[in-house]
Amino acid sequence: MQPKLKTVPMRDWNLGLDDFVVISGPCSAENEEQVLNTARDVAKSDKVKVLRAGIWKPRTRPNSFEGVGEIGLKWLKKAKEETGLPIAVEVANAQHVELCLKYDVDILWVGARTTVNPFSVQEIADALKGIDIPVMVKNPINPDLQLWIGALERINQAGITKLAAIHRGFSSFEKGPFRNIPKWELPIELMRVCPEIEIICDPSHIAGNRDLIPFISQKAIDMDMHGLMIESHIQPKIALSDAKQQVKPAQLVTLLDELTIRKPSSQNPEFKSLLDELRSEIDEIDEGIIQSLGTRMGISEKIGEYKRDNDVTILQVNRWDEIIRNRLNLAKALGLSETFMNKLLAIIHEESIRRQTDVMNRELAK
Ligand SMILES: O=C(O)C(=O)C[C@]1(C(=O)O)C=C[C@@H](O)C=C1
C-alpha cells in the first residue's frame, strides 16, 4: 500500500526556515553555561536556523549520563530568548511532549530507539492530538523502511502536518568507518514512495566521529536532502555524551562554509537539452539490459529442464566461479567496480537459481 502523508514543507512552519535547514547544538544539555555558550556561538553562523539539545538521553547501558531532564528545558528556553533561534528536543513519551510544550519548544523529534517501537510512537502521537507543532521522525535503528513510514503515518494521523524525517544511519554488527551505516538506498526509497516528506540528514550519528562529518554532509546535499542536524559543543572533549562526534561551533561554521549547496535542477537550457539527450541514451541502454536479462533467464530455464531430465543439481559452483572470474576481468577492464559487479552477478545468479527451482518444482507437481 502506497503511503499518503499530508505534510507542510519546512519553509511554511512559521519558524523562518528555508528549503534547506541546518540544526545544531549539543548532543546533551549539560549545564546552563554550556547550553548558552554553545547557542551563542552557533547563532553566529547565519546558516544555523534551529538550536538542538538532548534533554532525556536513551543510553544502551544503565548508570551512564541519561540527560538532565526538565531543568535543561529552562536553559534552552533562555537560549532561545537570547539568540532568537527556535529550539528542537527529542521526545520519547507523552510526559516529554507535555514538558516540551510547557517550555515552548518549537520542534520535537522522535529518536531512532523510539521509532522502532510502535507503542511508544503511538503514545507520542496521542499526546500530540490537537496540537500544532512540527515533528521530525528519525529512522529506526534497524534498516526497516516500513517501520519508519509507519511512525511518520502515526504522527501524521494525529493531525501533525508539519512533519519531516531524519536520516541518522542504521546500527550494524559490521565494523566499518561509520558508527551507523548510512544505507542511502533507504532514504532514497522513502523519497520515492513519500515525495511529500522532506528529509534531513544527521551526519553526526552516521559518522560517530567528527572527521567524517563534512564528507557525509556533502553526500546528503548531493542526495537532495533538505538539511543537516550536526551536534556541536563548546568543549567537545569534555562532553558527557558522544564526545567524539561533536564539533566546536567555530568548526561547524567552517564546515558549513565549505559545503557546496546543490539544487535538484537547473534552468540552463544547454544543461537541460544535454541531460535529455543523455537520459534517452540511458533509456535505450536499460531497455537492452532488460531484454538481455530476459533472454538470459530463458536460457537458464532451458538449462534447468535439461538438468531436471538428467537429475543434475541446479547449483554448479565451478561454472559459477568461472563466470565470476571471467566477468570480473571484463568489468575491471571497463572500469566497473568489483563491489558493484559482485552484487550484480550475485542477484543474477540468485534469480537464475530461482527460475531453475521453479522448473524443477513444476515437474514435481505433475
Ligand atoms: O551453467 C549452469 O549450469 C547454469 O545453470 C547457469 C548458471 C547461471 O545462471 O549462469 C546458473 C546456476 C549455476 O550455479 C551456474 C550457472
pLDDT tens digits for range 31-60: 999 999 999 999 999 999 999 999 998 888
Residue 67 φ/ψ region, left for φ over 0, alpha for ψ in the -120 to 50 degree band, beta for the rest: left
Pocket test for ligand 1, best of 296, 316, 323, 356 (most atoms within 8 A of CB): 316
60: which residues sit within 8 A by CB, 6+ positions away? none
- At how many degrees (to 10) do helices 94-102 and 70-83 cross? 40
Task: Give me the residue label for grid cell 561533536.
Answer: 246
Domains 10-258 and 269-365 agree in fold: no
Least confident of 57-61, 97-101, 290-294, 325-329: 57-61
pLDDT score recorded for residue 61: 83
Contact at 8 Å (CB) between 35 and 76?
Answer: yes
Q: Give the tens place of pLDDT for each residue, 260-302.
A: 999 889 999 999 999 999 999 999 999 999 999 999 999 999 9
pLDDT score recorded for residue 364: 67
CATH of domain 10-258: 3.20.20.70
Contact at 8 Å (CB) between 168 and 139?
Answer: yes
CA 25–ligand 1 middle distance (angstroms): 55
User: What average pLDDT does the chain have?
Assistant: 96
Atom of ligand 1 nearest to the CA of 296: 9
CA 364–ligand 1 middle distance (angstroms): 21
Q: What's the chain's length in residues?
A: 366
Residues lining ligand 1, Cβ inside 6 A: 300, 303, 315-316, 319-320, 323, 349, 352-353
Fill in the amino acid letter for 245: Q
CATH class of 269-365: mainly alpha
Atom of ligand 1 nearest to the CA of 349: 9
Taking alpha carbons only, the member of 22, 18, 54, 24 closest to residue 41 is: 24
Taking alpha carbons only, the member of 265, 251, 197 closest to residue 225 is: 197
Pocket test for ligand 1, best of 349, 350, 356 (most atoms within 8 A of CB): 349
Q: Is the dihedral of CA 22, 28, 33, 34 positive or negative?
A: negative
SS3 54: strand
Atom of ligand 1 nearest to the CA of 356: 5
Q: What are the distances in angstroms from CA 136 to CA 106, 139, 196, 227?
A: 11, 10, 14, 12
Contact at 8 Å (CB) between 94 and 127?
Answer: yes
Q: Give the tens place of pLDDT for each residue, 174-208.
A: 889 999 999 999 999 999 999 999 999 999 999 99
CA 222–ligand 1 middle distance (angstroms): 39
What would the grid cell of residue 45 be? 553562523
Helix (H) or strand (E) holding 157: helix 145-157
Domain residue limits, the chain: 10-258, 269-365
